[in-house]
């Protein structure tokens, strides 16, 4: 790897570590050959998300359109002077990540500029593009061009991405609803959010988690622990949200402490040694 490429991947790594301690720790559990590629995926999706979520006072629509245009130029040319796009295009081209997945992701990001409430169809479309396809991009990396294994694990990877995103929605209800005016869950009135509403959402998430765990156990050894670490982090967050009242999650953001994350990391490693995963 030449100095330019290495520097670009290091930029994506820095973005990941600055924005998410959870994912950074999980990535460290991957075999080293997977780490830079996953950093590249995270750096790309993080910056797109920043455009639509935080760049207020700027022409966000123009920025996300330009970001999309530059992304596909980088992939086609095999080069970009934008370090995030340079590392991303290398991974896309090396692992033959479908452009449809990238299109779906950027479409969901743009939906955040247009929509504040979702029907069932829009909700599923948004979750697919904003979360499930990210799992599929990573799955392409983990399968290392083994298309048979990839096709086998696609439904499980989608379930894991779906579970993560739905938990994010529950965790971030306060900021999404109050600050951005967004309500992702269809037919749910957050002005009158009930325990019954919350239980229905949690039942749906539990099914996604159960499906995803079956797939994690089938992942190649070099990627299995890292994905499992992310799984147990989010499972713990899900348990905390489930134990919190509907009224309370409207008022505060539920989180897992760094101390808890460290304990979960070592527990996941123990599960690996005991062949539980």
Tens-level pLDDT at each residue, the chain (277 residues): 699 999 999 999 999 999 987 778 889 999 999 999 999 999 999 999 999 999 999 999 999 999 999 999 999 999 999 999 999 999 999 999 999 999 999 999 999 998 778 999 999 999 999 999 999 999 999 999 899 999 999 999 999 999 999 999 999 988 888 777 788 999 888 888 999 999 999 999 999 999 999 999 999 999 999 999 999 999 999 999 999 999 999 999 999 998 999 999 999 999 988 888 8
Domain that includes residue 149, residue range:
3-273
Q: Which positions ≥6 away from 102 have C-beta within 8 Å?
A: 71, 72, 75, 92, 133, 137
Q: Which positions ≥6 away from 88 have C-beta within 8 Å?
A: 12, 40, 41, 43, 44, 71, 74
The predicted model scores a pTM of 0.94
**Alpha carbons 207 and 227: distance in angstroms, whole number:** 18
* Number of Cα atoms under 13 Å in the Cβ half of residue 234: 28
Q: Evaluate whether 169 touches 118 at the Cβ level (below 8 Å).
A: no
| pLDDT tens digits for range 56-104 | 999 999 999 999 999 999 999 999 999 999 999 999 999 999 999 999 9
Q: Which residues of 12-43 are buried (b: 16+ CB within 10 A; e: fewer)?
A: bbebbbebeebbebbbebbeeebbbbbbbbbb
| pLDDT tens digits for range 185-208 | 998 888 889 999 999 999 999 999
Distances (CA, A) of 251 to 183, 244, 254: 15, 11, 10
Q: Evaluate whether 50 touches 20 at the Cβ level (below 8 Å).
A: no
Q: What is the CATH number of the domain that holds 203?
A: 1.10.600.10
For the chain, what is the domain count? Answer: 1
């Amino acid at each position: 790897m030449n100095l330019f490429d290495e520097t670009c991947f290091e930029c994506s790594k820095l973005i990941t570590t600055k924005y998410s301690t959870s994912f950074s720790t999980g990535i460290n559990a991957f075999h080293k050959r997977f780490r830079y590629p996953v950093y590249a995926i995270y750096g790309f999706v993080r910056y797109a998300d920043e455009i639509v979520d935080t760049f207020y006072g700027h022409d966000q629509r123009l920025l996300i359109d330009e970001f999309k245009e530059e992304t596909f130029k980088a992939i086609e040319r095999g080069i970009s002077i934008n370090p995030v796009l340079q590392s991303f295009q290398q991974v896309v081209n090396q692992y033959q990540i479908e452009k449809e997945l990238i299109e779906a992701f950027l479409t969901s990001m743009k939906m955040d500029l247009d929509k504040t409430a979702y029907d069932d169809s829009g909700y599923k479309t948004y979750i697919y593009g904003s979360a499930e396809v990210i799992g599929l991009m990573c799955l392409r990396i983990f399968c290392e061009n083994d298309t048979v294994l990839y096709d086998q694990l696609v439904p499980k990877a989608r379930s894991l991405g779906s579970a993560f995103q739905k938990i994010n929605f529950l965790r971030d209800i306060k900021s999404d609803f109050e600050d951005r005016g967004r309500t992702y869950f269809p037919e749910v009135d957050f002005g009158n959010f009930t325990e019954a509403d919350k239980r229905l959402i949690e039942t749906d998430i539990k099914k996604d988690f159960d499906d995803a765990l079956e797939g994690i156990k089938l992942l190649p050894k070099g990627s299995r622990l890292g994905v499992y670490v992310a799984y147990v982090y989010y499972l713990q967050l899900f348990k905390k949200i489930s134990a919190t009242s509907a009224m309370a999650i409207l008022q505060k953001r539920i989180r897992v402490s760094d101390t808890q994350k460290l304990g979960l990391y070592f527990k996941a490693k123990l599960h690996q040694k005991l062949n539980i995963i």
